[in-house]
Every structure is written in C-alpha cells, then in structure tokens.
Chains A and B, each alone.
Chain A
Amino acid sequence: KQEVTQIPAALSVPEGENLVLNCSFTDSAIYNLQWFRQDPGKGLTSLLLIQSSQREQTSGRLNASLDKSSGRSTLYIAASQPGDSATYLCAVSPEFPTSGTYKYIFGTGTRLKVLA
C-alpha cells in the first residue's frame, strides 16, 4: 500500500531564506508526482507536476526534483516571501492504476510560515 510522508510537518522561516520541503513515498512504482499549495480553508493550487521519467521541474522560484528509485521528492523555494505562507502538499499517482483509473495519494502536508 502506497504511503506518502512529508517532513517537516511545520516550518517557520524568516523572509528571504531558501528552503526545502521533503516528500517520501513507500512504493516507487509511480506514474507522476504533483506538488500543490493550499491556503487555509481553500482548495488546492497546482504548483508543479513531475512525470516519473523526469528528474525535475521548475517554475519561477520553485524547483521540484524527483528520485523515483529512492522514493523521494523535494520542493525547493528560493528567496521565500510572506506570500509563500501556506500548506504544501505532495501527491503521487500509481504506475499501475486500479480499474484503469488513476487517483492521487496525498501526504499530510508541510505548513510553511514565512516571517516578514
């Protein structure tokens, strides 16, 4: 059974710091991995999608890497800003879907607070 873990559960940093959020998964047979941002009480905003054949994806100040064989992904945020404060979730899709359908298995998230 696939399990997704995110460490740390919470993180507080001063503005301007570069930071790394970690996501690990127990079954390396994944099709893709997606990072999301969630503001309090809101829905999920997609940040980056990494296919299993890719090593990393970049968007602005965000860079996500994937090491499928070791079951790990990291989200790197450069020059953090107070507006980056949110919960960051990672989710994986299994490589071999059940009934031909792909679902996401989520971690519990990392709550980030960037202090001005």
Chain B
Amino acid sequence: DAGVTQSPTHLIKTRGQQVTLRCSPKSGHDTVSWYQQALGQGPQFIFQYYEEEERQRGNFPDRFSGHQFPNYSSELNVNALLLGDSALYLCASRPGQGAGEQFFGPGTRLTVL
C-alpha cells in the first residue's frame, strides 16, 4: 500500500498564475481533505470531499477550489495566486465520513514569487 501520494513535490509560480495540485488517497479511503500549512504554523483546513462533492469548507476564498474523481483521487486548484499562498499543501484521507484516523501525504511545497 503506497499510502497517500501527492504531486508535484515542489512547485514555483508567479503572482496571478493558477496552480493544480493532485492527491491519491490511501487504498480503501474515499474521503479526502486538503490543508494549508504556512511556515511555522499548524495546518489549516481548506475543504473536504466525499462522493465527489465538497462537504465542508474552511475559511478560504473562492480562489481555492477542488474536485474529486470517481476513483476518489482529488485536485486542489488555486487561481490568481498571491504571495501569501506560499505554503505546504497537505492532503489527508480516511475511509467514510466518520471521525477515524486521517492519513496524510507528504505534501506539495508551493512557492509564489
């Protein structure tokens, strides 16, 4: 079992550009959550997907959007990038909608210049 995988590992963009990050959940998991972790901070919840729908969203602007595919993989899209979007983006998965343990991927480091 490969666990949660994310791509790419690192990404450099300039202000105003758009970016897409990808996540494949752990085998058997169908719920995917995305978190943003700024340097020196704890991760902040962006949103969660289940059954291809966004189920809950944190305090992030509409520039942040996502998608979940029938195979449960997910994408995070960020439009009109700002310098403040520079962070480590983490994907987490769990089976179902319960409160069981979440498993995190290695993250994508996004740098906005």
Bound-complex Cα distance A103 to B40 (A): 20
Is B105 a contact of A32 with CB atoms below 8 Å? no
Any A CB within 8 A of the CB of B27: no
Interchain CB contact (< 8 A) of A98 among B56, B90, B98, B101: B56
Interface string of B63-102 (1 = CB under 8 A from A): 0000000000000000000000000101010000111011
Interface string of A91-111 (1 = CB under 8 A from B): 101000111111111111100
Interchain CB contact (< 8 A) of A43 among B44, B55, B90: B90
Number of A-B contacts (CB under 8 A): 69
Using Cβ atoms and an 8 Å threshold, which residues of chain A touch B31? Answer: 101
Using Cβ atoms and an 8 Å threshold, which residues of chain B touch A4? Answer: 42
Residue ID in chain B nearest A36 by CB atoms: B104
Bound-complex Cα distance A101 to B107 (A): 22
Interchain CB contact (< 8 A) of B107 among A32, A43, A46, A107: A43
Cβ distance B30 to chain A, nearest Cβ, rounded Å: 12
Cβ distance A104 to chain B, nearest Cβ, rounded Å: 6
Using Cβ atoms and an 8 Å threshold, which residues of chain A touch B104? Answer: 36, 43-46
Cβ distance B46 to chain A, nearest Cβ, rounded Å: 10
A36-B104, A41-B109 known; A102-B45 Cβ under 8 A? no
Any B CB within 8 A of the CB of A89: yes
Cβ distance A112 to chain B, nearest Cβ, rounded Å: 15
Bound-complex Cα distance A41 to B87 (A): 10
The prevalent SS among residues of A at the interface is strand
Could you list some 9 contacts between A and B, CB below 8 A?
A: A42-B106, A43-B4, A43-B106, A44-B92, A46-B104, A89-B43, A91-B42, A102-B97, A106-B42
Cβ distance B106 to chain A, nearest Cβ, rounded Å: 4
Is B88 a contact of A41 with CB atoms below 8 Å? yes
A99-B56, A103-B48 known; A34-B101 Cβ under 8 A? yes
Any A CB within 8 A of the CB of B33: yes
Is A108 a contact of B41 with CB atoms below 8 Å? yes
Bound-complex Cα distance A36 to B31 (A): 20
Interchain CB contact (< 8 A) of B98 among A43, A89, A102: A102
Interface string of A14-47 (1 = CB under 8 A from B): 0000000000000000011010100001111110
